[in-house]
Structure 1
Amino acid sequence: MTILSASGDELKAREAQAGAVRASFEAAGFEPVTIPVLQPAEIFLDRSGEDIRRRTYLFQDPGGQELCLRPELTIPVCRHYVAAEPAGKSVARLCASGPVYRYQPQGSAKLSEFNQCGLEILGPADEVASDVEMTSLGIAAVEAAGVTDYELEFGDLALFGELVDALAIPDAWKGRLKRQFWRPAFFDSLLSDLSASEADTDKPDRQDGLLSVLAGLKEDQATALLQDVLKLSGINAVGGRGIDEIASRLLEKAADRTTERMPDEATALLANYIRVSCPASTALARIHDLVQAGGISVDRGLGRLEKRLAALAKAGINLDKAVFSTGFGRKIEYYTGHVFELRVPRLGVDAVVAGGGRYDGLLQTLGASAPVQAVGCAIVLERLFLATSGQTTSNKGAK
């Protein structure tokens, strides 16, 4: 477990810098809220994605409820909003700060406990304007601390989703491609599996027996079967994926055995698209030429991207220095549109000092009666301080 300790003048400097970040957000009209450290585990496990799921500290209280130490602030803040505004019809500008916890392997230089200061715009607000405001506030907080040697990267998950939806492939495949977007190695493997020839799919697989049993079952039947197997094996599912999610994934693999392969043209287009990484100033033309050559139209997404990039440039963000990457999604699976990160490479494994993006689908999964527009940003305060002091978690002597 790696924790960054401080005392004396350094502690005062860190606290002063953190206070300045919070004050800048409150001055921009964000209302401070407090969020409990202890949270129901399921709200993160079902929504944050694999990267957060496998690093969440889980335990059961004496009453048997599965809890966790919060691994981030966005989901709890959204629950706070939904509790007060279940219809999502009013705009809230909220700011929260405090420690978050993510497991790191023994010997890792990455921090297991660190402080975030995050802000969210929740409810009906102009999409482009709020995307740009959130990005600008993150950049301003980093620059106000004296950090200028950062790298800035953008992505757009909605554009990727529109591209996948435009392909002439089964709907089930579209859903799987979208779900694996955040996991590059799994995405490449899935693309390879879906485009494999019939001879390739005849190769033996350790799951063949189970998949043949599941083939043709409905999802509730597959879930019940897996529950029986786990019960007979004495295995309890604690944290991680639920039985219903595992059943759904296995049914998808079983269905692949009886579904035709993905067309070569679609495979090539997706493989080429996901690897575009270029100055943000040239991204629109690069993506337009690529999809046009593939005979696909994503005009709505490109139009939205064009407006956002123009607004970012108007806000003073240098698009020649920023990078736009089509395969960039921040490894958090609730994002649905614009995403961004600021990294300071000299910090090494903890290079990300700020990041955020749009997550319009999250609040409905937390109890809102309809989809709610939402965009947020978080500053990692320890990393920001290290970036201003010329240190890293390695040479600082983190514990």
Structure 2
Amino acid sequence: MSRTFSALVTSGADLLGVTGPFPVDVPWWAEVEPVVERLERALGVAVYVVRLLRVDGGEGGRDGHVTYHVEALELPAPGSPALRPADRGTRALLEPDNALRSPWARADGLRDLLGWASRTLAALGRPVTGPVRQRRTWNLAGLFRLPTGQGPVWLKATPRFASDEAAVIAAFARVDAGLVPTVLASDERRMLLEHVPGEDCWAADAATVEAGVRRTVAAQAALAGREPPRLRDRRDPVLTGLVRDLLDGPAAPDLTAQERDRARELTGRWERLAECGLPDTLVHADFHPGNWRGDGRSPVVMDFADAHWGNPVLDCLRLYDFLPEAVRGTAVRVWVDAWRTHTPRSDPARALALAEPLAHLTYAVRYQEFLDGIEPSERPYHEGDPAAVIRRALHCQRHPGLGFTEMVD
């Protein structure tokens, strides 16, 4: 097994002890549903994972041995063989509350979140009919599945540095309601979403890619020029400044002077990118196929926590990086054709060629925002990511992957 875990178990103010290690067959630290299932079998009571406490080994958000803080909703039977006393070092992992800790990463905040969801669904005439299943928890989101008589509902909570997903979904829904999930209710940094049938589109075929790209581009073209929702400004001049600040500040110790100089030179491409004529619009910014969901029809686009206002070229590049090799060409062809149709004077192919390394510099800015917004125990998820993707940008400059090299010269 590539991931094992232990759990420091509490119930309210009581520290009950430690359990584990246990193996799980899903390597990702944030995927906690199998963790919860294994602990509930061992302890005999319902539990939720509160947060990650420590990782030994593993990298990139996966593998190794993970220690979680877990909250038991009831006390296990006295003398449960699954629990043993926590030593001083393990108890010390339950450090005092941190100002950067997300609400769902606190036991009381988790109970408040689930209580809000239950009350809200009851008021909507869709009371919860069974156990709430915790799907994922980490510094970027808490995700839960709630059963109701009219089908499952998803509860999502996001941190303060995430975009207002409900507002972004509403903006897209005004021009194409079927492109996005249905928001049943929302509050500050949390929302209830109608279930979208089907599967995540990691293995998307050409027809799915074409439908998703054409529909998204049409929506972005319709939104261009409108008053943007309250979002991060990531227009080309803004990104130029943010990347230069990153290179001179937090990322500097992890890069050589030569790497920093080459990355600064790359930022000059943003001025040339603006000349390609694509409009500033609502950008998903994490437009990979795992954030699409479909059942053979046109996919629904999910997860707008990174959305911003800026150049839409980023979405095609993100999609290209994650698609199966066989359909990457389809994505590029359809995206270029769609933007030429909606903005005839634009040059989307040249935009892709210029922006391929710039996309990675944009990701570096976002990863640094993650690091700046999370508490120390969560940093293993993103440590080193800004420097790594800056180096990826430099690699793309030397070895372009889209076949448009001549359009950059």
Name the TM-score, length of structure 2 as normaliser: 0.24
Between Structure 1 and Structure 2, the one with more strand by share is: 2
